Amino acid sequence: MKIWLNIVAYEIKKFDINGEKLLYFMIEKLGVTERVGKRLIDKGRVKLNGEIVVYKGVRAVGEVEVLFYEPTPSIQLIPVFEEDDFAVFEKPSGMLSHPNGFETQECILDSIKKLYGYAANITHRLDYETSGLLVASKNKAAESILKTTFETRGIQKEYTALLFGQLTEKTEVECLLEQIKVLELKVMQGASEQGKHSLTLFEPLEYFGKHNMTLVKAKPFTGRLHQIRLHAVHLGYPIVGEPIYQKDLEMARDYLDKKMSEAERIERTGARRVCLHASKISFEYKGKNFEIESKSDIKSEFLASI
């Protein structure tokens, strides 16, 4: 049984139809492509006179209802870099990259689709609390090329992180990682002899003796989930604000179950956010090389969060 809800970012649009082919009528009214129109029907998001439509070629009479994704951003994004086919944005900490269901109140994809239309998309993800550079395609052809480039490791990324302790020299961390289930049904990452190869280079940039913390550059050579966060713990210098991988299951459970106030979060993890920022990205697109750097004063942002 399908239950229709009218939730932020989704809107039920209603139209009167009088004998037209439903698919093409809907495409014209909503201003979407034929592919999007067919997908709306396939997902059961189109009703005719209260009944879910299953046949795309129907000629319809009566009231059409469409459960439609409507971008409703509360922030105005300004790209830090823009080309005809793609743009690069700075994602703030504490915002999802993509919606993770009808319950998502807002994600950065809302703002991107509002800027460039429904064919625009994000080509990779950043964790909810990780800030920094995010690449968005403006059309499906660019999306396919850029996603393939990410999947084949054709894009090089650098991060800036704030670590507990004093790291004094460049250090590589290499281990095998795989998804494991802990804390009932929560899926996390962990070291395992059956896992996939992972490698990160950490380079110290500045030490803050007052806080006993080190600002570092982190360069991942593989793309495993939560790789830098795990490798920092493995190195013995956890990322400031890390709530999951500091080998404290009670703290991880409280964070995942949203039982931690901001004051408790700062006291228990060192900061109100994970101090990790995607600061540089390099890749080739259609024979041209691009190297884009973050414009954020991330050092100040990190220190203000502790």
- What span, in angstroms and rounded, lies between the C-alpha atoms of 232 and 215? 12
pLDDT score of 197 more than 80: yes
pTM of the model: 0.77
Q: What is the pLDDT of residue 26?
A: 87
User: Is residue 49 domain-resident?
Assistant: yes
Q: What is the pLDDT of residue 4?
A: 38
Do residues 81 and 147 share a domain?
yes
- What span, in angstroms and rounded, lies between the C-alpha atoms of 84 and 134? 16
Angle at 40 between CA 78 and CA 111, to 5 degrees: 10
User: Is residue 101 domain-resident?
Assistant: yes
Average pLDDT, the chain: 86
| Exposure on the CB side of residue 111, measured as CA atoms within 13 A | 21
- Selecting among 84, 85, 110, 127, the annotated active-site residue is 127
Q: What is the pLDDT of residue 207?
A: 98
User: Is residue 263 domain-resident?
Assistant: yes
CA-derived radius of gyration, the chain = 23
pLDDT score of 300 more than 90: yes
Taking only the tens place, the pLDDT of each residue in 70-83 is 666 556 788 999 99
Whether the Cβ atoms of residue 230 and residue 153 lie closer than 8 Å to each other: no
Domain with residue 101: its CATH number is: 3.30.2350.10
For residue 130, with 0-12 CB atoms within 10 Å meaning exposed, 13-18 middle and 19 or more buried, which class applies?
Answer: buried
DSSP codes of every residue in 178-205: EEEEETTTEEEEEE-TTSEEEEEEEEEE
Question: Residue 138 is inside which H or E element, if any?
Answer: none
Mean pLDDT lowest for which of 1-15, 135-149, 172-186, 199-213?
A: 1-15
pLDDT score of 191 more than 60: no
User: Is residue 293 domain-resident?
Assistant: no
Do residues 146 and 228 share a domain?
no
Q: What is the pLDDT of residue 256?
A: 86
Task: Assign 180 a pLDDT band (cuts: 50, 70, 90).
Answer: low
- What span, in angstroms and rounded, lies between the C-alpha atoms of 97 and 107? 5
Q: What is the pLDDT of residue 185?
A: 39
Mean pLDDT lowest for which of 115-119, 127-131, 134-138?
A: 115-119
User: Is residue 213 domain-resident?
Assistant: yes
Do residues 183 and 266 share a domain?
yes
User: Is residue 1 domain-resident?
Assistant: no
Question: Among 24, 46, 69, which residue terminates a domain?
Answer: 69
- What span, in angstroms and rounded, lies between the C-alpha atoms of 207 and 87? 34
Do residues 212 and 236 share a domain?
yes
Angle at 141 between CA 151 and CA 56, to 5 degrees: 110
Question: Is the four-CA dihedral 142, 107, 196, 270 of positive or negative sign?
Answer: positive
Question: Among 92, 117, 152, which residue terminates a domain?
Answer: 152
pLDDT (average), residues 171-177: 89
Do residues 96 and 186 share a domain?
no
Does 106 or 149 have the greater pLDDT score?
Answer: 149
Do residues 248 and 179 share a domain?
yes
Active site residue 84: no
Do residues 166 and 272 share a domain?
yes
Reading the block at residue 240, the tokens are 């400031």
pLDDT score of 181 more than 80: no
Length of the chain: 306
Do residues 16 and 30 share a domain?
yes
Q: What is the pLDDT of residue 211?
A: 97
pLDDT score of 99 more than 70: no
User: Is residue 305 domain-resident?
Assistant: no
Domain with residue 14: its CATH number is: 3.10.290.10
Question: Among 108, 132, 152, which residue terminates a domain?
Answer: 152
Do residues 270 and 165 share a domain?
yes
Domain range for residue 121?
72-152
Q: What is the pLDDT of residue 224?
A: 86
User: Is residue 199 domain-resident?
Assistant: yes
Do residues 193 and 264 share a domain?
yes
- What span, in angstroms and rounded, lies between the C-alpha atoms of 87 and 25? 32
Taking only the tens place, the pLDDT of each residue in 239-278 is 999 999 888 888 988 998 889 999 999 999 999 999 999 9
Mean pLDDT lowest for which of 132-141, 182-191, 264-273?
A: 182-191
pLDDT score of 102 more than 50: no
Calculate what percentage of the chain has a pLDDT beyond 70.
86
Which of 295, 298, 285, 278 has the alpha carbon at shortest distance from 157? 278
pLDDT score of 94 more than 80: yes
Most confident of 18-27, 54-63, 291-300: 291-300
Do residues 207 and 229 share a domain?
yes
- What span, in angstroms and rounded, lies between the C-alpha atoms of 246 and 119? 40
177-184 long-range contacts, Cβ below 8 Å, gap at least 24?
Answer: 177/224, 177/225, 177/227, 177/230, 179/225, 182/249, 182/252, 183/249, 183/252, 183/253, 183/256
- Cross-strand partners of 207: 214
Q: How many domains does the chain have?
A: 3
